[in-house]
Amino acid sequence: MIDIKLIRENRDLVKENIKKKFQDEKLELVDEVYNLDKEYRELKTKADDNRKRRNEISDKIGSLMREGKKEEGLKLKDEVVKINEELKDMEVLELEKEKRIKEIMYQIPNIIDSSVPIGKDDTENVEIEKFGDPVVPSYEIPYHADIMNKLNGLDKDASGRTSGNGFYYLMGDIARLSSAMLSYARDYMIDKGFIYCIPPFMIKSDVVSGVMSFSEMYNMMYKIEGEDLYLIGTSEHSMIGKFKDQIIKEESLPITMTSYSPCFRKEVGAHGIEERGIYRVHQFEKQEMIVLCKPEESMDWYNKMWQFTVEIFRNMNIPVRTLECCSGDLADLKVKSCDIEAWSPRQQKYFEVGSCSTLGDAQARRLGIRAKGVNGNYYLHTLNNTVLANTRALIALIENNYNEDGSITIPEKLRPYMGGKEMIK
């Protein structure tokens, strides 16, 4: 959510940003909220004047009563009653306008960084850099689900019976490999100075609306029936929510945390839940990182964070590349974002395995997360990045470490988490 002052002072900038995101249907919202804000402030000033006048009259009534001038005091009481009636109507109107302003402000996208390329959708994202050589072996690499099935590591039939499409059972060494990746990613982030955390896997609606846009919430979140609780789609949601309505001491910044959680996603509007594989599913596990920092430090942290993910994947013998997300592909709260994509030797192309984003002060403004500085309180900047999501990372690891005899070489960094095992056969 942007600062309402920006709309008061520079509507053209806000409209231009909306055009860059190809959301022209939202242009009229800028004028609507500008006018509403003006009416709200005028109404609030008038209401405050009435409250001040009422207090002055009430004090005068008290004085008159003490002086024994009861009749004069009673006449003034009628005026207080009249002011209270007016205030009642004003306060109802105040709340209505305040609610509508908030609804609109939640729909207006954040101001994107000047470095973000302009484009309509993810087809216009821009490659930044490649890390590692994308190799295509001389032998055929089967579909990842077939490799896992042959190694008795995947059971989609059973999960179909218990849970439906979009779920899976991981078993044996494949399940252990999945856990090894997550454990390695956890320890890597701890070594980088991040505090490890296991957060709540359900959050309240006011936290959901604080960390994401309404469209994202509808497309992603599962709601717990009959309760004000949602299953998290990523631990970023509960990790940022941890600091809701807090004023943080400046000397404790930056706050750097890495969190483990299962993630639950409806995947509404996605390209279809996979029937056989684990690329797009309703449930997976993830190691995440979040940073809360001073505004002037957020871009430095952004560049550090995506590099951590690149190094983790390279340490598992997986070539990756980074893609700059274009304006039309950015979620409304994001200032800048890049995707990390892993090489698929089977498909001979890259596929997304993570995303790094800075959201400026949008989430902090919605959730009331501030720092106490020398010159007063200010909203913090929040950032998040996928360290490792187990399903897609597992696909990338299996394909890039698959041998002609059907075995999988376990990367050296993961062997301590696999009891020293070097190969899955």
Mean pLDDT of 152-158: 96
Q: What 3-state DSSP class applies to 350? A: strand
Which of 240, 329, 352 shows the shortest CA–CA distance to 292?
240
DSSP structure class, residue 258: E
The backbone torsions φ and ψ at residue 233, rounded to the nearest 5 degrees and listed phi first, read -90, -15
Cα–Cα distance for residue pair 320/306, rounded to 1 Å: 11
The string of pLDDT tens digits covering residues 2-32 is 999 999 999 999 999 999 999 999 999 999 9
Check if 4-105 and 122-424 are the same fold. Answer: no
The half-sphere exposure of 71 on its side-chain side, counting CA atoms within 13 A, is 0
Structure tokens at 372: 């106490």
Per the listing, tokens 């100075």 go with 193
Cα–Cα distance for residue pair 425/132, rounded to 1 Å: 26
CB 161 within 8 A of CB 230: no
| pLDDT at residue 269, rounded to an integer | 59
**Where are the chain's structural domains?**
4-105, 122-424
DSSP structure class, residue 406: S
The string of pLDDT tens digits covering residues 239-296 is 999 999 999 999 999 999 999 999 999 976 556 667 789 999 999 999 999 999 999 9
Which of 387, 395, 123, 388 shows the shortest CA–CA distance to 280?
395
The string of pLDDT tens digits covering residues 392-413 is 999 999 999 999 999 999 999 9
CATH code linked to domain 4-105 = 1.10.287.40
Specify the amino acid at residue 339.
Answer: D
| pLDDT at residue 86, rounded to an integer | 85
Which of the pair, 79 or 330, is modelled with greater confidence?
Answer: 330
- Across the beta sheet with 381-389, what order do the strands follow? 126-131, 320-324, 336-344, 349-358, 381-389, 283-293, 255-264, 195-197
Q: What 3-state DSSP class applies to 132? A: coil
pTM of the model: 0.89
The string of pLDDT tens digits covering residues 200-239 is 999 999 999 899 877 777 788 999 999 999 999 999 999 9
Class of domain 122-424: alpha beta
